[in-house]
Amino acid sequence: MNNKFIPFISVLMTISMIVFVTLQLYWIKELYSALNQDFSNKVYSAMESSAMKISQLEVDKYLNQEYKNFGKNVIAGNNAQPTQFYIQQNSDSANRSTITFQKSIVENQNIPISQKGDSLKLTKLYTDEGILKIKKESNSEPLTSQLSKDISNNTYALREFAKLSASNLPIEKRVDEKTVDSVVAKELKLSGLDTKFGFAVIDKHNKITKVANKIYNDEKDKINYTYPLFTDSKDETLYTLALVFPRKDYSLAKNNLPMLLGTFMSLLTILGIYIISINYMMRQKKISDIKTDFINNMSHEFKTPLATISVATDSLSNDKIATNPEKVKYYSQLIKQENLRMKKQVENVLNMSKLERNEVQLFLKETDVRSLIKKITESFGLIVAQRNGTLTQEFNTEKYVFKIDEFHFSNALVNLLDNANKYSPENPAITVRTRNEGNWYVIEISDKGMGMDMQNTGKIFEKFFREETGNIHNVKGQGLGLSYVKKIIELHKGQILVESTKGKGSTFTVKLPMS
């Protein structure tokens, strides 16, 4: 993929993802609103049924349970004369008459239940209805005793209504906490709501009565659902039933878990794919840029020795130089030196390739590490001295003999020293320190060079990474040295750390286990 299209595609993918996520969140919000409305409808339906049940239980308490002779004691003094209603409708044809009739007898009773004017109003409705179809014939049929009995005897259906008018009766006398809890819990379950709830009976002054449970008192600041519980003789609300659901959101999610889980999993999956795709494209772009820089740097690194070899070869073909043994020796050594330089560059690339494929095997043996470091630093000190620099050694270890791979360890140490030398603009000042930390052998290589930015300290061990890239060649290299060092140290089960300040220098710390 062309690198210039990656940002464009990334922007389009980001816009599409934002639109998709926005629509999903809007859908989830609408779904929650619909679920919340359905929950409210079920709650109010359950509260309506609960209010009717509680009222019925209160009436039954007076009529059947606590006051079994209650009606017999008071009807005699308060019985009103029953009222009878009769409705009849006739329709005639040539030989048939149809009579539709309805009889109603209404009996009202007003039974006092306290000395403060509270009463129980009972209404009994007796109804009888039917249709008589009469066929007209010229001959009269005799009226038998059975037929006369059927016509005279009426069968009535009885319906009884009761309303308690108890404005002065304390709420504790009318209903208790246990009854409310039992009735409401049952009605909620019948409505499909099986969740924790709190309840309270609130008076007409909007104050919580003694009929309330602990959950309501703890969660009363949450959304309340209210429904009239008891009314007075004018149908004005005396007491209100209030419910609160502390785990309402959990209940909504639990009852719709498969759908919500599927939605969230789909959303997370798409977000994950989006993040991985963007990360992959950015990584590919970075790899492409790094590859371009690497090729440019390698081209530069090979161009110089090839040019030198070409010049030396042309010089050797000159008759005057060919007859001069010293000149021939000089140019031969120059060709060999540049050839070794190119060989080293190729070996660096091949070694990194082997490390990437885990094909490098260490040959560990007991080594006097202090003597090895001293030998390497003294040799490298000659290179530093050519730039009028100094390489200081500070050996503070008491234990320094342990197993390492001398070849790869030496290469790693040379790479670190070379890195300190290359990134010191003028007169390098390099210090090599060693010390023991428990079972670790610690090596510090410090310089006072150009240093690096904080954000680059975590990147310098990446393959091909360089502080300066592209066609800037004031510091030579392919960006493989520190990556190689890190791989070798890790193969020794060790650690490498770096501390750097821009313009003040860097310190590389290598820790190797001695067991």
Render pLDDT for 27-77 as a digit per residue (tens, 0 to 9).
Answer: 888 888 888 898 899 999 999 999 888 888 877 776 665 444 444 444 344
Least confidently predicted of 348-352, 372-376, 391-395, 430-434: 348-352
Q: Which amino acid type is present at position 206?
A: N
Concatenate the DSSP letters of all residues of 318-387 into one string: SHHHHT-HHHHHHHHHHHHHHHHHHHHHHHHHHHHHHHHTT------EEEEHHHHHHHHHHHHHHHHHTT
Residue 15 has pLDDT above 80, yes or no: yes
- Contact between 120 and 59 under an 8 Å Cβ cutoff? The reply is yes
Q: How many separate helices (H) and strands (E) can be counted in the chain?
A: 13, 15
Nearest to 472 by CA among 296, 333, 312, 310: 296
Average pLDDT over residues 182-198: 90
Average pLDDT over residues 72-98: 56
Residue 82 has pLDDT above 90, yes or no: no
Q: Residues of the chain with pLDDT > 70: what percent?
A: 69
How does strand 157-165 pair with strand 429-437? unpaired
- DSSP 3-state assignment of 271? helix
Residue 284 has pLDDT above 50, yes or no: yes
- Contact between 212 and 177 under an 8 Å Cβ cutoff? The reply is yes
Average pLDDT over residues 399-419: 88
Q: pLDDT at position 369, please?
A: 94
Check residues 244 and 146 and name the one with the higher pLDDT.
244
Average pLDDT over residues 283-299: 70
Q: Give domain limits for the chain.
A: 1-110+120-246, 251-353, 360-513
Average pLDDT over residues 384-401: 90
Residue 181 has pLDDT above 80, yes or no: yes
Task: Spell 190-226 as b/e; 16+ CB within 10 A means b.
Answer: ebebebebbbbbbeeeeeebebbbebbeebeeeebbe
Check residues 127 and 182 and name the one with the higher pLDDT.
182
Q: Which amino acid type is present at position 515?
A: S
Calculate the alpha carbon distances from 408 to 281, 362, 483, 491 in Å: 35, 8, 13, 10
Average pLDDT over residues 152-176: 66
Nearest to 51 by CA among 311, 227, 213: 227
Residue 408 has pLDDT above 80, yes or no: yes
What mean pLDDT, rounded, does the chain reach?
77
| 367 confidence band (pLDDT: 50, 70, 90) | very high
| 437 confidence band (pLDDT: 50, 70, 90) | very high
Average pLDDT over residues 432-439: 94
CA 466 to chain centre: 38
Residue 365 has pLDDT above 70, yes or no: yes
Average pLDDT over residues 168-172: 79
Q: How far is it, in rounded angstroms, from Cα 438 to Cα 166?
A: 88
Strand order in the sheet with 237-244: 208-212, 198-203, 237-244, 224-231
Q: pLDDT tens-digit profile of 304-328?
A: 678 778 888 888 888 888 888 888 8
Contacts 24+ apart (CB under 8 A), 132-141: 132/98, 132/99, 132/101, 133/96, 133/97, 133/98, 133/99, 134/96, 134/97, 134/98, 134/99, 135/95, 135/96, 136/94, 136/95, 136/96, 136/97, 137/95
Q: pLDDT tens-digit profile of 198-255?
A: 999 998 888 888 888 989 888 888 888 999 988 877 778 888 999 999 888 888 777 7
Q: How far is it, in rounded angstroms, from Cα 252 to Cα 223?
A: 15
Average pLDDT over residues 470-474: 41
Average pLDDT over residues 254-273: 82
Q: How far is it, in rounded angstroms, from Cα 385 to Cα 142?
A: 151
Backbone angles phi, psi at 445, to 5 degrees: -120, 110
Q: How far is it, in rounded angstroms, from Cα 446 to Cα 509?
A: 9
- DSSP 3-state assignment of 214? helix
Residue 145's DSSP bridge partners are none
Q: Which CATH superfamily is domain 360-513 in?
A: Histidine kinase-like ATPase, C-terminal domain (3.30.565.10)
Check residues 371 and 349 and name the one with the higher pLDDT.
371
Q: Which fold has domain 251-353?
A: Helix Hairpins (1.10.287)
- Contact between 101 and 89 under an 8 Å Cβ cutoff? The reply is yes
Q: How far is it, in rounded angstroms, from Cα 254 to Cα 355?
A: 52
